[in-house]
Amino acid sequence: MNIIEILKADYKNFPADQTYSIYAENVYFQDPMNRFKGIGRYQQMIGFMSTFFKDIKLDLHNISQVGDRIETRWTLSWTVPVPWQPRIAIAGWSELKVNTSGLICSHIDYWDCSRLDVLKQLLFPAKTR
């Protein structure tokens, strides 16, 4: 299975059954909330998400690779375990860089909304969700 097929399966199963072996040991990760290096920290972040949030879904809309760069377009959504149970959704894209060993050495996520927009979803949930 090539790295694109593995990523498609990982997105479908997220946050369970992730294929951490496709990442370099010192992978660089960045999103609007986090910035760190290391596969262990990456696993901890996903573990936190799967422990704290409910009904996590990562919908993959597009994935493409040109040379050593992979780009994905996605929507991440989850339910926050507070009394009003808001459903949060973040659309965005990721830029992954593959090293000469074929491992992902950089994973940078970009959101199509601000952190404030995410907070608004928590505090003022849509009635139709």
Which sequence spans correspond to the domains of the chain? 3-122
pLDDT at 1 over 90: no
Ordered strands of the 35-37 beta sheet: 35-37, 23-30, 104-111, 87-98, 69-79, 54-66
Distance CA 109, CA 95 (A): 7
Residues above pLDDT 70, as percent of the chain:
98
pLDDT score of 128 more than 90: no
pLDDT by residue (tens digit) across 54-86?
999 999 999 999 999 999 999 999 999 999 999
pTM of the predicted model, to two decimals? 0.91
- Class level of CATH domain 3-122: alpha beta
pLDDT of residue 43 exceeding 60, the answer is: yes
**What's the confidence (pLDDT) of residue 129?**
45
